[in-house]
Amino acid sequence: MTAFALLLIGFSVFSALSLALTHFRAEQYPDQAMSRWMGLGLLAALTALQAAHFVWLYFDLAWVASLPYRMTLFAVAPAFCLFSLPLLRPQEARLAGLGWLGHFAPVLLAPVLPTDLALPLAFIVGAGYLGWLARCLLALRQERRRFHLEMLLLGAVFVIAIGVSVLGLMQAALPDKLFFSLYASAIGLAFFLVQVTLGLRPRLSVEVRETAQAAYASSTLNNVDCEAALARLDQLMTTDRIYVGPELSLAGLAGLLGLSSHQLSELLNVHLGKGFSRYLREQRIAAAKAMLCAEPSASVLSVGLSVGFTAQSNFYEAFREIEGMTPGQYRKLHISADSVQ
């Protein structure tokens, strides 16, 4: 068990670094500074916990009994909550102000608590935050159909977290290093599932926020001719090809339709079942697919840039997400199929 835990500790550290460099970029969290920084803080906290687990399991140095370990343990659940809040409850996050600082009050209790009490209490606090997260997801039950596979994977993370909370309450009764081996393994497995989820849908955070915003807001479409707006939207995309503009934004597209940003967001979510980010990527990928086959001599990069992507990495990421393969693989597959016919 210890060897498996050490392996997953190493994976956790490299995974945290990868997520920090690739997923938590500013463009992935537009107007969501708190989510981004709390996500980075969460990665740092989990990495610190895994470092303490490593030196305890491998070197027999009892960092897990230290004050910094206890304080970090109390910080994990609030950091996760404040990462999730702007995504799942955007209206509440805007009204919170500096009230979010109160979530870290338990961290201040860690220095005055004995170790045998601090660890179970930290996991009780974590279980409370898991309950809050479950309520948020339940409120979005109608929208979960759009993220079915992703929700299953994140649900597995949720189950792991519940299991760790239960183990935390039993920690004193478990043999020697077994609890910390199990806890380190659980963190590593959670990192693995998160990586798989983001591999399937790299822009998941943006799409969840757009969906939650539309779900919690009162309808803004009461005085909007939705059929006419959708017809105009289709014209802008198919005839005018405005998606080729790299700077096209929700607000910019809404202005062209004579709608507010909230109205366009609700229109897309309610009538097309997707948020603006997903809709725009699909339009660009559809155009790219046609160009890849119609212009076989054009480079993949030039195709991506011509349909509105700003970098090859963004183009590849979106293409894999939507088509399940790279642009080069798609071109080869379809040109070969056409030549056979």
pLDDT, tens digit (0-9, with 9 covering 90-100), for 279-313: 999 999 999 999 999 998 899 999 999 999 998 88
Which helix (H) or strand (E) segment holds residue 73: the answer is helix 67-88
Q: 34 and 215 in contact (C-beta within 8 Å)?
A: no
The token pair that represents 292 in the structure block: 């890849």
CB atoms within 10 A of CB 198: 20
Distance of CA 281 to the CA centre of its chain: 17
pLDDT at residue 216 tops 70? no
pLDDT at residue 160 tops 60? yes
Question: Tell me, what amino acid is at 83?
Answer: F
Mean pLDDT of 244-251: 90
The token pair that represents 259 in the structure block: 């709608």
Question: Which are the contacts of 146, defined by CB distance < 8 A and separation ≥ 6?
Answer: 207, 211, 273, 274
* Predicted pLDDT at 125: 82
DSSP 218: P
Task: State the Cα–Cα distance between residues 100 and 103, nearest whole angstrom.
Answer: 6
| Lowest mean per-residue pLDDT among 60-64, 144-148, 305-309 | 144-148
* Predicted pLDDT at 215: 60
* Predicted pLDDT at 96: 54
Write down the domain spans for the chain.
2-211, 217-273, 283-341
Terminal alpha carbon distance of the chain: 56
Give the CATH architecture of domain 2-211: Up-down Bundle (1.20)
Question: Tell me, what amino acid is at 259?
Answer: L
Options 1.20.120.1760, 3.30.1370.60, 1.10.10.60, 3.40.30.10; CATH of 283-341:
1.10.10.60
- Residue 172: band (very low, low, confident or very high) from pLDDT cuts 50, 70, 90: low
Is pLDDT larger for residue 149 or for residue 311? Answer: 311
Mean pLDDT of 75-102: 73
241 Ramachandran zone, left/alpha/beta (phi>0; psi -120 to 50): left
- Residue 181: band (very low, low, confident or very high) from pLDDT cuts 50, 70, 90: very high
* Predicted pLDDT at 140: 61
Q: Buried b vs exposed e over 298-322: b needs ≥16 C-beta within 10 Å?
A: eebeebbbebbbeebebbbbbbbbb
Mean pLDDT of 157-172: 73
Q: 288 and 169 in contact (C-beta within 8 Å)?
A: no
Q: 26 and 36 in contact (C-beta within 8 Å)?
A: yes
* Predicted pLDDT at 284: 95
pLDDT at residue 148 tops 70? no
Q: 301 and 312 in contact (C-beta within 8 Å)?
A: yes
- Residue 338: band (very low, low, confident or very high) from pLDDT cuts 50, 70, 90: low
Intrachain domains 2-211 and 283-341 with the same fold: no
